[in-house]
Structure 1
Amino acid sequence: MDFPSVSQSISFVHPISLTHGKNAEVWDVDAKRYIDFVGGIGVLNLGHCHPKIVAAICEQAQRMTHYAFNAAPHVPYQRFIERLAAFIPVSYPVSGMLTNSGAEAAENALKIVRGHTGKSAVIAFDGAFHGRTLATLNLNGKVAPYKQKVGSLPGPVFHLPYPSADNGVSTAEALKAMDRLFSVEIDIDEVACFIIEPVQGEGGFLALDVEFAQALRRLCDDKGIVLIIDEIQSGFGRTGQRFAFSRLGIEPDLLLLGKSIAGGVPLGAVVGRKALMDTLPKGGLGGTYSGNPLACAAGLATLDEMTDANLAAWGEQYSVALLTRYEQWQAQKLSPYLGRLTGVGAMRGIELLTPEGKPATAQMAQLLASARERGLLLMPSGKARHIIRLLAPLTIEPEVLNEGLDILEACLASL
């Protein structure tokens, strides 16, 4: 597709132009219907145009469309941040700030950590993705395409292997790499924070090893290092519970949020321990659009739907349907390229591998095109872009989910 007024540095997975959507379905300019397993890359856990979110936006638009919260506080921001703090399952009182995006939340978290610790060194992980802004690029555990031709990046940032049963890296291997890092690269006393995703999104839907997560939490407690957990993609019910860190048996010091926080309206947040969040001087945090009233109204409507009962039911329906179908495909030996199922809950990826065990990137390109032709939108992930990222709305109707899986099955069988 060629849009002369759009930067050619922006790429498209699917060469179509969408006009509207409803829950897990979208339509293009030719009125062709697609089942959406992309969900705005994890933004639409409640689907396209959820009626309660649309109603909340419309109602708020008649009251106030914008005010800068740091100029004069407005009620939607106050209400939403209070509800959000109560929604986060941690043992300590939560405070925070709202942002325009997940990347902006990550940027502000780095500012907060520097102010609190007086240190600047950050440890991130291979395969990580934390945003496209200049500072977050350096956190990402992947060069192409994000870091190419950008030049020197803010630092210092160091990377460790990400331990997961989904990528074959063990806790022992990751801890050994950490020992080497602190012996060779940097003194542990100079480290300000670790930043980690409990389930990597861009990295291929890799679920963090529980043993490593708990060892990391103990290390941070012992050494006074801040632990930042990035739940921008894994949060708000995607793994079957409010946040994925709960399955690890740990709590973050700072939590990064975005994507499905407000039903498709741009909003993010960095929240955490009050002692951290209050570190910077007055005026050190804020932003013109951060916590826009329309976004906050959408966020409040989103939280209304994010009950534990709903999340459990949606996650069970989604994961059971997918697991059942995947096991059938394996038993049938549906495709020589069908690899492992990665992730947890309703945050799942399907790996495509050649018979030699190499990433099947050519087959992924074929699969994306054939699925789109049949009316299913998919998204790749992983270092080699060989893992199908499945991010259908949690609210997808069972018959639509099965229809989408039928298409995926047919496309896999034709590889």
Structure 2
Amino acid sequence: MSDITYRLPQEIRLNGAVPGPRSEELAARRTANVPGGVASTLPVYAADADGGVIVDVDGNSFADLGSGIAVTSVGASAPKVVAAVQEAATHFTHTCFMVTPYEGYVAVAEKLNELTPGDFDKRSVLFNSGAEAVENAVKIARAATGRNAVVVFDHAYHGRTNLTMALTAKAAPYKQGFGPFAPEVYRAPMSYPYRDGELGGKEAANRVIEMIEKQIGADYVAAILIEPIQGEGGFIVPAEGFLPELVTWAREKGIVFIADEVQAGFCRTGSWFASDHEGIEPDLMTTAKGIAGGMPLSAVTGRAELFDKVQPGGLGGTYGGNPVACAAALATIETMEEWDLSARARHIEETAREKLGSLVEELDVVGEIRGRGAMFAVEFVSDSDSKTPHPTAAKQIAAACAERGVLILTCGTYGNVVRLLPPLTISDDLLNQALDIFIEEIRAVAA
């Protein structure tokens, strides 16, 4: 990290009441023009961001432990990304790859084929958002297998489009009132060690396999779709052995195994991808968020023979693989390699565990501390014996942290999890200060 030079001071700085007058003015304009269905975590409006800070329009500087939901892993204005975007936009902002292709798209595909797990012939196709990537992964699996059913999991989050709402587990706010949803989606129990008792990974996988064989029929299943570490569902890390057991069984049954790495991918968990931690090789992988340093880009990468089953014109989209976003992605990956941000994510995890680890034994409200790398979370409960979810605690802590200049996000099926997703470029001093404030607010709620 010593070779990172920050453009903005890496500090928490509050000039007065939050939100300030300029943010309140913008909030009034927003109310008059933007529907209430679009919600925001902080009541302030961003004017600048760099490294681990977001500066609002009133000059307040917040420690960013959200990264725009795991997007700005290299920071929101990483120099190489900014330069690449400027250079690309100088030449052309769009031609549509399906009309007049360009090298940037091909170069991103080459890099994804190289970085993703699996020593087999791969292809990559580019889109705009994580939900779009997931939809297309399902399309590819169905085309390749000639089957219809898709198996997803409790606590899963895969997007807000019609199909991905069906794939997503949590009703409110993501699905409520928006049905009917796409058919042939079946939900299986997730491995959730904190709430599974003594159920090991292989046992949890066999529970899923039995459910599929008895309730769906393996020969009817096109794909198993899973987040190797669940994101919105609560940063749930499945028990060791769960993922490999499912992959092995899926291969035996001709089922396409899809890893949704939209939130966990690109160094976030201390490796290039969360799938790396247990050595699984997904048939297809979806990526987005951290792929392009804040520019909209997503991808499906996987076995060439699966893509070969899709007819020409069956995949694509007007903006998919936008040339400016592709330039940003190449610069983002180069920055991750140069600064070894996987190692940085592991360092962030070590720091968080050291600071937060004792709270589980000390405070009854802290149920579990879990995660990998800079994808870290605290689950709050009413008491450690019943493990009753305590969403009020999570909301109170997040709100109190925001008032003190620390942006944190909640998540979880029960709304009782606080997730920590700092930019991987956050300085140690700022990270420690933000975590200290977080801990103080946990103690205040516990008291």
Please state how far the C-alpha of 1:120 moved relative to its aligned partner: 1.0
Which residue, 115, 123, 131 being the options, matches 1:103?
A: 131
1:21 partner letter: A
What's the CA shift string for 1:272-329, capped at 9, x where partnerless? 0001112211111111110011100000001112229713430232011101101244
Cα distance in 2, alignment partners of residues 255 and 109 from structure 1: 8
Q: Which position in structure 1 is the counterpart of 2:75? A: 47
Cα distance in 1, alignment partners of residues 272 and 149 from structure 2: 30
Q: Which position in structure 2 is the counterpart of 1:248? A: 278
Which residue, 310, 316, 323 being the options, matches 1:286?
A: 316
Please state how far the C-alpha of 1:118 moved relative to its aligned partner: 1.1
What's the CA shift string for 1:47-77, capped at 9, x where partnerless? 1111111111111111111110000111211
Please state how far the C-alpha of 1:149 moved relative to its aligned partner: 1.0
Correspondence list, 1:293-332, <5 A? 293-307=323-337, 310-330=340-360
Change (3 A) 1:180 1:328: closer
Please state how far the C-alpha of 1:45 moved relative to its aligned partner: 1.1
Cα distance in 2, alignment partners of residues 361 and 330 from structure 1: 17
Find out whether 1:130 has 2:158 as its counterpart: yes
The more displaced of 55-64 and 82-91 is: 82-91
Q: Which position in structure 2 is the counterpart of 1:385? A: 415
Please state how far the C-alpha of 1:182 moved relative to its aligned partner: 2.3
Cα distance in 2, alignment partners of residues 293 and 399 from structure 1: 36
Correspondence list, 1:253-264, <5 A? 253-264=283-294
Q: Which position in structure 2 is the counterpart of 1:394? A: 424
Q: Percent identity?
A: 38
Secondary structure at the aligned position of 1:298 is classed as helix
Correspondence list, 1:22-171, <5 A? 22-168=50-196, 170=199, 171=201
Please state how far the C-alpha of 1:173 moved relative to its aligned partner: 4.2
Q: Is the 8 A contact 1:166 1:343 kept in 2?
A: no
The more displaced of 84-93 and 398-407 is: 84-93
Find out whether 1:226 has 2:249 as its counterpart: no
Q: Is the 8 A contact 1:197 1:208 kept in 2?
A: no
Please state how far the C-alpha of 1:373 moved relative to its aligned partner: 0.6
Q: Is the 8 A contact 2:156 2:169 kept in 1?
A: yes
The list of structure 1 runs, each at least 4 consecutive aligned residues, that deviate by more than 4 angstroms after superposition, is none
Secondary structure at the aligned position of 1:178 is classed as helix
| Structure 1, unaligned runs of 5 or more | none
Secondary structure at the aligned position of 1:104 is classed as helix
Which residue, 180, 189, 207 being the options, matches 2:219?
A: 189
Q: Is the 8 A contact 2:117 2:275 kept in 1?
A: no
Q: Is the 8 A contact 1:242 1:311 kept in 2?
A: no
Cα distance in 1, alignment partners of residues 337 and 345 from structure 2: 12
Find out whether 1:176 has 2:207 as its counterpart: yes
RMSD: 1.6
Please state how far the C-alpha of 1:177 moved relative to its aligned partner: 4.5
2:72 partner letter: L
Secondary structure at the aligned position of 1:325 is classed as helix
Q: Is the 8 A contact 1:339 1:353 kept in 2?
A: yes
Q: Is the 8 A contact 1:166 1:342 kept in 2?
A: no
Cα distance in 2, alignment partners of residues 191 and 338 from structure 1: 39
| Structure 2, unaligned runs of 5 or more | 1-26
Change (3 A) 1:290 1:176: same
Secondary structure at the aligned position of 1:256 is classed as strand
Q: Is the 8 A contact 2:269 2:373 kept in 1?
A: yes
2:229 partner letter: V
Please state how far the C-alpha of 1:174 moved relative to its aligned partner: 4.7
Cα distance in 2, alignment partners of residues 272 and 279 from structure 1: 13
Secondary structure at the aligned position of 1:200 is classed as coil
Cα distance in 1, alignment partners of residues 360 and 107 from structure 2: 48
2:102 partner letter: H
Please state how far the C-alpha of 1:147 moved relative to its aligned partner: 1.6
Secondary structure at the aligned position of 2:125 is classed as strand
Cα distance in 2, alignment partners of residues 258 and 141 from structure 1: 20
Cα distance in 2, alignment partners of residues 368 and 87 from structure 1: 35
Cα distance in 1, alignment partners of residues 92 and 342 from structure 2: 35
| TM-score between both structures, scaled by the size of structure 1 | 0.95
What's the CA shift string for 1:173-194, capped at 9, x where partnerless? 45235313422x2221111110
Q: Is the 8 A contact 1:204 1:342 kept in 2?
A: no
Change (3 A) 1:284 1:124: same
